[in-house]
Amino acid sequence: MLKVKSGWKNWQLLTEKGRHIWAFKPGSKAINEHLQNVDDISEQEITQFAEDFQFDKFTNPNSGDKVYRHAAINAKFKAFAGHIPQAANPEAQKVTDAVIKGINYFSGLQSDEGHWPGDYGGPLFLLPGLLIASYISDTPFPKAHREMMKVYLFNHQNKDAGWGMHIEGESTLFGTVMQYVSLRILGVDKNHEQLITARAWIKNNGGATGIPSWGKFYLSILNCYDWQGFNSLFPEMWLFPKWLPIHPWRYWCHSRMVYLPMAYCYALRIKAPENELVLSLREELYNDAFTAINWPKQRNVVCEKDCYTTPSPVLKWMNFFTNHYEKIKWPWLRKKATDYILKYLNAEDEQTEYLDIGPVNKAINSICIWHVYGKDSEQFKKHVARWYDYLWVAEDGMKMSGYNGSQLWDTAFATRAILESDLGALFSATLTKSYQFIELSQIKAEHATHAEFFRHPMIGSWPFSTAEQGWPVADCTAEGLSATLALHHSDLVKPVIEEQRIKQAAEIILSYQNTDGGWATYELTRAPKWLEKLNPSEVFADIMIDYSWTECTAACVIALLELQEVYPDFKNNEIRKAISAGIDFILKQQKTDGSWYGGWAVCFTYATWFGVEALSKAKGNDYYDDMILAGSINKACVFLVGKQKSDGGWGETFESCSKLVYSEAVTSQVVNTAWALLTLMAADFADKKVLEAGIKVLLNRQTDLGDWSQENISGVFNYNCMITYANYRNIFPVWALSRYYRQTIRNYSPPPLKKGD
Ligand code: LAN
């Protein structure tokens, strides 16, 4: 058994319908009761944290989700006791055993309600926002949490004493100042060794005046930066006529929902009261005296190390006008704008049970709601209760997740991975639970205010995390549907998602298709591409509108193809057209070297897998010219074979995402290897030696229990920020091995199963 360190044991994950929160020594199991938590940590336990949560960033900045996994495995793990099929030769037996071991281990991590909780950290600018919300509202986290957050922040300091924008990134001013301020909020003395060196980093890089705009925003809230040094967010734009292409209802929902509360804070110039910490930070963060800084001049100053997207001349020109408008603004118009924004904030809170669409607006909405209704208001209390949904404990400490989890997404992938071969039938109990969770997560009702606040229709859709968070996503709907169809097809579960709900999901997918033939993330593309010229973030690219993506498109095409197999008469013409247009889009995205760029995971191996999976599934079915499909698939294979490393695996670094060129990792990575293998097998790649060499990497890296080690970070958003998908290291190797088993070994039919086995 895995040894659970004593400091880790005090942390327990409580889950309920996909909701998960980490609790320090929970007396009772109920989440809501536990949230009344008390500060019950002893000095001895704090010292224990320091010993038990050691982590070496310089060996690997990615934690392995060991706290959750060790506890889950100790509680639930049983070596596989079922019938192990005998293969024809030892090599084939190894693969068979690895698939069974891999699924068996992963089943041990499944929660009682059927999903796979996991670390979804990575970005380093999230926890600081939440800490600033807790600080300004004077609502501190329990001491045990605060201690664990410190552990995390200290653990991720780079060798040069700064912090990156994400755990693998080189130091940036944004990362460094935000972690520095967080540690100070958490009570760390400015003379702490790690803060002295961090301060030197900040000062050597020009001081906090050069922090990117989101940092300027947070520091202004904290009263450690002057609002005058912040470009106007022009709250009145919410009163524009809706037909204008620049009306914010047309923005990508994440930008819309972040700039909304930011505009509110800006309009009211919300800031913490001056106190000892604030005054001290003003001295600690700048090269000049705070009062001597010419703030308006700092608006566009951004440290070179941070700048990813240079502000366009159009944006500068717009800022010039909006900044001037601040001097002459009409109070009644401003009031009208902020009233509208507040109404919208309340609607977002209510529609998501106060989870909000993501970690950034979660923190900023909390600040607005605290400011408007006060600390004792019901609304604010509801916000605070949901702060915990975003916190995660791993061996590197307590972090803020990039979402309230990746529950549905991981469950859908895991289900399909397990069902890839007959061996999945040996795990019908796991699949029954996955099915329950998938069923639970499908969205069944519309909010009363959905149209008023520009939400895409959602009945029948699936979200990325949980139904209560409830923002539908196009490709999550596709994955939810594919997993459901695979489960129904397997005959291992009793179908409770009826035909009508399957068709609703298909209709939602159709409703999401853009005129370019592709699918975007949460909504249709609502404005032209030139709106990107107004991207004010400096640190992210392509955030202004919801773009069509290869991965999202492929997932939707695949789900529709699978639907056609089962319900050929349902909207046949419409679906066929949608599929063909989707394929067109995918083909257009292919690069001349045969690869596809991945926008949501690292990187070319990911999107190439999606592209090829969709095209090969469509082949031979009259949806498209098969010669063209074959040509494209072939090019993709040539690309992948060219990238195979000498050990037989594949490996990319996150720089593939930010630099847009394939960046080879020093060692091969099991997740990239699995994607490449899945692609080649989907393409029926002829040279089996290539496959065998890749499969060997997966086999050799599997641990005795059936896990794989955490390697490089796998996820990304907006090109420049990376995000952890802790379950990918299990899902994709299992999937690839299962496919290999199915294609090359399958000489075995599982014994008839009792359902619920
Ligand atoms: C996600 C996570 C899931 C991801 C996929 C489903 C994998 C993708 O195919 C579509 C886009 C989506 C839904 C996605 C979009 C951007 C998110 C929400 C995230 C990467 C998780 C966190 C990120 C969010 C924007 C983080 C907050 C940062 C801001 C810049 C607002």
Q: Are 458 and 538 in contact (CB under 8 A)?
A: no
Average pLDDT over residues 593-607: 98
| Model pLDDT for residues 294-319, shown as the tens digit of each residue | 999 999 999 999 999 999 999 999 99
Instruction: Note the pLDDT of residue 320.
Output: 96
Q: CB of 258 closer than 6 A to ligand 1?
A: yes
Q: Is the CB of 600 under 6 A from ligand 1?
A: yes
- Ligand 1 centroid vs 110 CA: distance in angstroms? 23
Peptide bond into 603 cis (omega under 30): yes
Per-residue b/e over 212-239, b at no fewer than 16 CB within 10 Å?
Answer: bbbbbbbbbbbbbbbbbbbbbbbbbbbe
* Rounded CA separation 211/231 (Å): 13
- Asked if residues 736 and 677 have their Cβ atoms less than 8 Å apart, the reply is yes
What's 423's DSSP letter? G
Give residue 45 CA to ligand 1 midpoint distance, Å: 36
> Ligand 1 mean position to 396 CA, how many Å?
23
Q: Output the pLDDT for position 747.
A: 54
Section 653-682 average pLDDT: 98
| Ligand 1 atom having least distance to the Cα of 361 | 31
**Ligand 1 centroid from CA 533, angstroms:** 21
User: Ligand 1 atom 16: the closest Cα is on which residue?
Assistant: 717
Spatial separation of the C-alpha atoms in residues 399 and 397, rounded to whole Å: 6
> Between the CA of residue 91 and those of 94, 692, 705, what are the distances in Å?
5, 10, 19
CB atoms within 10 A of CB 431: 26
| 464 CA distance to ligand 1 middle (Å) | 9
For the cut 90, the answer to whether the pLDDT of residue 621 exceeds it is: no
CA distance linking residue 156 with residue 166, whole number of Å = 9
Confidence of residue 411 (pLDDT cuts 50, 70, 90): very high
Query: pLDDT-derived band of residue 750, with 50, 70 and 90 as boundaries?
Result: very low
How is residue 286 written in tokens? 């700048």
Cβ of 521 below 6 Å from ligand 1? yes
Judged against a pLDDT cut of 70, whether residue 748 lies above it is answered with: no
Q: Tell me the pLDDT tens digit for each residue of 412-448.
A: 999 999 999 999 999 999 999 999 999 999 999 999 9
Torsion angles phi and psi, residue 83, rounded to 5? -80, 120
Catalytic residues: 475
| Top mutation candidate among 125, 166, 403, 725 for ligand 1, by most atoms within 8 Å of CB | 403
Q: Cα 216 from chain centroid?
A: 24
Q: Is the CB of 475 under 6 A from ligand 1?
A: yes
Q: Is 717 in the pocket of ligand 1 (CB under 6 A)?
A: yes
Which ligand 1 atom is at minimum distance from the Cα of 715?
20
Closest CA to 553 of 597, 591, 497: 597
- Three-state SS for 287? coil
CA distance 697 to 547: 35
Ligand 1 close to Cβ of residue 165 (< 6 A): no
pLDDT score recorded for residue 262: 98
DSSP assignments along 202-252, one per residue? HHHTT-GGGS-HHHHHHHHHTTSS-GGGS----GGGGGS-TTSTTSGGGS-
Q: Report pLDDT digits (tens) over 686-707.
A: 999 999 999 999 999 999 999 9
Secondary structure, 3-state, 72-124? HHHHHCCCCCCCCCCCCCHHHHHHHHHHHHHHHHHHCCCCCCCCCCCCCCCEC
Find tokens 């193809």 and name the residue: 561
Mean pLDDT of the chain: 95
Minimum-distance ligand 1 atom for the alpha carbon of 716 = 20
Cβ of residue 471 lying under 6 Å from some atom of ligand 1: no
State the sign of the Cα–Cα–Cα–Cα dihedral 555, 557, 561, 566: positive
Count CB neighbours of 295 within 10 A.
Answer: 16
Which whole-number Å values give the CA distances from 608 to 131, 479, 655, in the listed order?
Answer: 39, 17, 17
Strands 397-400 and 11-16: unpaired
Q: What confidence tens digit (pLDDT) does each residue in 529-572 have?
A: 999 999 999 999 999 999 999 999 999 999 999 999 999 999 99
Distance (Å) from CA 715 to ligand 1 centroid? 9
Average pLDDT over residues 192-202: 98
Per-residue model confidence (pLDDT) at position 28: 66
Residue 755 has pLDDT above 50, yes or no: no
Q: Are 491 and 752 in contact (CB under 8 A)?
A: no
Q: At residue 11, does pLDDT exceed 80? A: yes
Strand ranges for 665-746 from DSSP E:
715-717, 721-723
Could you give the domains of the chain?
Answer: 407-512+549-745 (1.50.10.20)
Secondary structure in 3-state letters for 443-483: CCCCCCCCCCCCCCCCCCCCECCCCCCCCECHHHHHHHHHH
Token pair 């690839």 is found at 736
H/E stretch holding 313 reads: helix 313-328
- DSSP 8-state symbol, 302: -
260 Cβ closer than 6 Å to some ligand 1 atom: no
Ligand 1, from 258, 600, 675, 719: best to mutate by most atoms within 8 Å of Cβ?
A: 600
For residues 190-202, give the mean pLDDT: 98
Cα–Cα distance for residue pair 720/161, rounded to 1 Å: 21
Distances (CA, A) of 609 to 47, 562, 675: 46, 17, 6
Determine whether the shortest distance from the Cβ of 257 to ligand 1 is under 6 A.
no
Contact at 8 Å (CB) between 548 and 520? yes
- At residue 325, what are phi and psi to the nearest 5 degrees? -60, -35
Q: What is the pLDDT of residues 622-652, one digit of tens each?
A: 889 999 999 999 999 999 999 999 999 999 9
* DSSP structural state of residue 744: I
Within 222-312, where are the H helices?
A: 253-268, 276-284
Among 410, 469, 717, 722, which residue has the most ligand 1 atoms within 8 Å of its CB, making it the best to mutate? 717
Q: State if residue 356 touches ligand 1 by the CB under 6 angstroms criterion.
A: no
Ligand 1 centroid from CA 390, angstroms: 14
- Region label for 187, one of left (φ > 0), alpha (ψ between -120 and 50) or beta (otherwise): left
Q: Tokens 């409580």 correspond to what residue?
A: 14
Share of the chain above pLDDT 70, in %: 97
pLDDT band at 753 (very low <50, low <70, confident <90, very high): very low
CB atoms within 10 A of CB 375: 11
R_g of the chain, CA atoms, integer Å: 25
- Give, for ligand 1, the residue of 252, 256, 352, 464 to mutate: max count of ligand atoms closer than 8 Å to Cβ: 464
User: Which of 119, 251, 254, 544 best tests ligand 1's pocket when mutated (most atoms within 8 Å of CB)?
Assistant: 254
Q: What is the pLDDT of residues 459-517, one digit of tens each?
A: 999 999 999 999 999 999 999 999 999 999 999 999 999 999 999 999 999 999 999 99
Instruction: Print the SS3 string covering 469-535.
Output: CCCECHHHHHHHHHHHHHHHHHCCCCCCCCHHHHHHHHHHHHHCECCCCCECCCCCCCCCHHHHHHC
Contact 228/326 with Cβ under 8 angstroms?
no
Residue 403 near ligand 1, beta carbon < 6 Å: yes
pLDDT in tens, 246-256: 999 999 999 99
Three-state DSSP at 702 gives: coil
Query: What are the pLDDT digits (tens) for 92-135?
Result: 999 999 999 999 999 999 999 999 999 999 999 999 999 999 99
Is the CB of 358 inside a 6 Å radius of any atom of ligand 1? yes
Report the first-to-last Cα separation within the chain, whole angstroms: 24
- Residue range 267-276: mean pLDDT, rounded: 98
- Side-chain half-sphere exposure of 377, counting CA atoms within 13 A: 14
Decide whether any atom of ligand 1 lies within 6 Å of the 476 Cβ.
yes
- Pick the atom of ligand 1 nearest to 522's CA: 13
* Inter-residue long-range contacts of 444-447, CB under 8 Å, 24+ positions, other chains counted: 447/347, 447/350, 447/351
CA distance 329 to 48: 56
Compare 4 and 229 and report the one with higher pLDDT. Answer: 229
Q: Are 668 and 648 in contact (CB under 8 A)?
A: yes
pLDDT at residue 40 in the model: 75
Closest CA to 442 of 459, 418, 417, 425: 459
Nearest CA to ligand 1 atom 28: 360
392 DSSP β-pair partners:
399
Find where tokens 């001049």 sit: 297
* Predicted pLDDT of residue 2: 74
Is 402 close to ligand 1, i.e. is its CB under 6 Å away?
yes
Yes or no: say if 513 and 466 are a contact pair by the CB < 8 Å rule.
no
Q: Using one digit for the tens of pLDDT, what is the confidence trace for 39-97?
A: 678 999 999 998 999 999 999 999 999 999 999 999 888 899 988 998 889 999 999 99
369 and 264 Cβ atoms separated by less than 8 Å = no
649 lines ligand 1 (CB under 6 A): no
What tokens appear for 692 in the block? Answer: 């065998």
| Cα–Cα distance, 496 to 484 (Å, whole number) | 10
Q: Report the relative pairing of strands 11-16 and 19-24 from DSSP bridges.
A: antiparallel
Strands 715-717 and 721-723: antiparallel
Q: Helical H runs in 156-272?
A: 173-185, 193-204, 213-221, 253-268
β partners of residue 397: 394
Residue identifier of the C-alpha nearest atom 31 of ligand 1:
254
Q: What type of residue sits at position 722?
A: M
Q: Using CA positions, which residue lies closest to atom 7 of ligand 1?
A: 600
Q: What is the pTM assigned to this prediction?
A: 0.96
Cα of 717 from ligand 1 centre, angstroms: 6
Q: Please list, in sequence order, all residues whose beta carbon lies within 8 angstroms of the beta carbon of residue 46, skipping any fewer than 6 positions away.
A: 147
